[in-house]
Structures are given as C-alpha cells and as structure tokens.
Amino acid sequence: MDSFLRYIQESQSVENWQLFRLSAHELTHLLSALRQQPCTLSEIKLTSRPGSHLLLFKDHETVLVVTEPSTASPSPFRCYQNPNSVAYTTDIKTISMFLSAWSAPGDVADILHTSQANQKDVSPLLILLDGARHQANLELECQTHQALQIENALEQDGETLFEFFGGKVRKLLNPDYIEIQAENPSDYWTGRSNGWVWRHSPYSGQLLSVILSPRSTPLIYRRETPFFVEDPTSSKEIMNGALVSLMNFKSGFLLPLSFQGNRLGILKLFYTENLVPIERDYQALEQFRLGMALLLYHTRLHLRAQRLATIDGLTNLFNHWFFRDQLRKEFQRARRYRKKMSLIMIDIDDFKLFNDTYGHLAGDKALSEVAATIRKSVRDIDFVARYGGEEFALILPEINAKNGLIVAEKIRKAVEARTYATDETQSKGTMTISCGVTDNSDAKGPDDLIERADRALYWVKKHGRNLVRVETMGQEE
C-alpha cells in the first residue's frame, strides 16, 4: 500500500478514524503543540516515507496520529499550501491493527497494554486534534463559499461565461482538465448545438473529450452526488478510456449539475495524480456542486429572458441590436485567438415590388420563409440575424472571405430555387437575394466589417442583383 490514508480509507475500521487536511505550516504548529503535552510519546521513524509521521501519544487516552504529504495522498482541493493529510484514532483495536500492518516496533505496541488513568477527563491531545480538524473543515467550507461568489455572472454569456465557470473551478480545485457538458449549450452560447462541450485543457488545439457511456449519464444525474472516478482508463462510465490514457489522467470526479429536477450539465474534473479523497472532500464537493448548479440555473433563466428581447418576432432570428453585440464579441474573440471570421450582408431583391404585387401579409410570410432558408443553409454555430427590413446579417466564425463566398452562394441558390406562397389560392412567387461578403483581415473593428460588406452589397445592387460579391482590405471579387 503506497499511502497511509488510502489504507485507512479501505480498511473496515475507517469509521474509527478522524481525517482532515492541513497546510505544511499548520501541521508543523499542530505537531509542536502535541509534543509539548505532558504525555508519553513514541514516534516511529519513517526513513522510506519522507514527510510522513506516525506518533503514538499516551496520557489517559491512547491516540495514534498519522500524517503524510500530498505526494502520498493528493487532495482534489488545491486551496491549501503544501497540503498534508492527518488521521487520528483512539480505538485500541484499530491502533493495534494499524501498527501491525505497518510493522511497528514492539516497544511502541507495548504502550497499548499499559494501564490508563481516569478516562472521565477529556484528553488535551484530543482537544488539540479536534480543534485543528474543525478549524480545517471550517476553512475549506469558507474557501468553497468564496469560490462560488456570483459577481457579475448573470451579465455574461458565450465564451466569457464558460471561462467564468472554469475560473470558479480552478480557484477551488485547479484540476488538470475541466470539461462542462451542458444539456442545452445554446442556452449559454448562441449557436452551440447539443453535444458541444467546453474544455480547459493543457492539450490546446486537440479535439479530445472525455466521452461518457450512454448508460452512465442518467445514472450520474440520478445519484445527485459527486462521483469519484478512480481509474479513468478502465472506468465503465467512460467510453474512450484508451484515448484518455494518453492524457495521463489517473483519477477524477463527475459532478451532476441539476436544480429542482432540471438537468443542466455534467462537470468533469480530471487529475494526473491518484487522488485519495476523504469524507470532508466529498462534502465540500457536494457544496460546490450545488452552488455551481444554482449559478448555472439562474444564468440560464436570465439569458433566456434576455434573449426574448433579442429575437425578431416575424422571422424568429436575432434582431439588429443583438447582432451588433455578437459581432463585437466574435470580432474580439477572433482577434484574441488569431482566427478568421466572415460577415455576410444579404438583401432581398425588389422586395417592395413583391409587397406591392402580393400584399404585405404575403410579404411577411415570404420574409419568414427566406429567413428559415438562410438558417437551414448554415452551421449551428453561425449567427443569423434580421438586420432590418428585408436585410439579413450572418456571422461565420473561423471562416475566411473565400469560404464565406461559397456559403453566400449556397444561400443565394437555395433562396432562388424555392417558391413562396402569395395568397389563399396558393399562387407562387419567386425571390432572389444579393450578398456582400467580407472577413476580418486588417479590419480595425466591427464597423469596418459592416462597411466592407455593405460596399460589396451595394455593388451587386448596381450591377444586376442576384449575385454574390466579396470585399476585403484592398481586394474585391
């Protein structure tokens, strides 16, 4: 057995032990205070286990104190400075079994058989140990509460929101890998489809995800408690264990995020260490899980309410105001990660003539059908908005102008190919669109993109309509 704490956790007498964690500085003070007590002390030297201690105290109680550094029994919480695990017990049988298992010298074991004084008094040793344990537990609880402070979470969405959630996790736990598998990603990040996950990983740029088996997801939700994954490579809950092993994950936790019966997502935390979680770790993780679920739930409610004001009622696309806000965010994101993005401006050709010919009711219906055609012609992550009147705007993340031209041409052909009901007799009308395309090459800001796409669109309007044109910095196509 490579860890005292792991041995205790797996023993049948684990309920006779008290377990907690202290920083290296706090442990030094505790051991110093214990050694100063008027009692018999036997300390077992552990040359093969640097930083670990086995101390057997005897006043009118026999107390075995076991300590070891985080290298032997890592904690999932990283809020400690050089954390150490501490375990102590006064149960004679448990002490005897432990000392026997770890080959304690005979003179140490003899202490167990000496007579004890009046046991009605409370041992100063236990007062010190119980006080240190309660203080350590209180500090962990405070750290967890502090990590869950809401700040301005409700005002965020998209990438900044998930970075915010990830920051909460790293502040308290700081695992080597974080993955948030949201039930409805588009509730938090516009355009993200079901199955999309957010990751914080040292393996940047690699599309590697911890995939749960179909049976495990509902089971994890039903448990409603943190689930410890002792070995990710062989766990039945994980489908791609062999691939996960390449990331050198040794252990982890799966935290179901649900509130009042609403399944919100699963938080996946993995470490490159063999964690040895204790009962207090599970309690703090449960506290953190509930806090994260509540935060996620209220964020979803807020964003849904906010988006009701961002949707165009006729076309069910996003409106002009929300488009400008998303364009600003996507432009900043593309600049930050040095990615391309494209903007397409679309205008329905001769829409006034269609309205005058068939009436405004037919025009409204045709407008919504054109919107639906555009939406079906692009990816889930692409942002489609009604810019105003019969104009539409599309934001294409990680697409350059050349590929944006291909997308625009696909949309143009799709709109031209269909017919539109014009009245109760179901007579059919046709429509065409004009498109202007640009990308963020050398653009100073979002307004540059709009101006370029508008110029390309106006050129098409002057040169026959039903065309697609690209304009980038100094280039037209």
pLDDT in tens, 230-257: 999 888 889 888 878 888 899 999 999 9
- Angle at alpha carbon of residue 59, lines to 56 and 62, rounded to 5°: 45
Q: How confident is the model at residue 473 (pLDDT cuts 50, 70, 90)?
A: low
Nearest to 153 by CA among 142, 143, 168, 174: 168
Strands of the 40-44 sheet, one edge to the other: 18-22, 84-89, 62-69, 53-58, 40-44
What pLDDT digit, counting tens, does each position of 213-226 carry? 888 999 999 989 99
- Please say whether the beta carbons of 141 and 286 come within 8 A: no
- Angle at alpha carbon of residue 165, lines to 162 and 170, rounded to 5°: 120
Strands of the 262-271 sheet, one edge to the other: 198-200, 177-182, 262-271, 251-259, 227-229
Pick 439 or 476 by higher pLDDT. Answer: 439
Q: What is the DSSP string of 5-39?
A: HHHHHHSTTGGG-EEEEE-HHHHHHHHHHHHTSSS
What pLDDT digit, counting tens, does each position of 325-348 carry? 999 999 999 999 899 999 999 999
Residue numbers annotated as active site: 390
Tokens 């930050």 found at: 336
Domains defined along the chain, listed by start: 4-145 (no CATH), 151-307 (3.30.450.40), 320-476 (3.30.70.270)
Q: What is the DSSP string of 66-111?
A: EEEETTTS--S---SSS-EEEEEE--HHHHHHHHHHTT--HHHHHG
Q: Would you say residue 107 has pLDDT above 80?
A: no
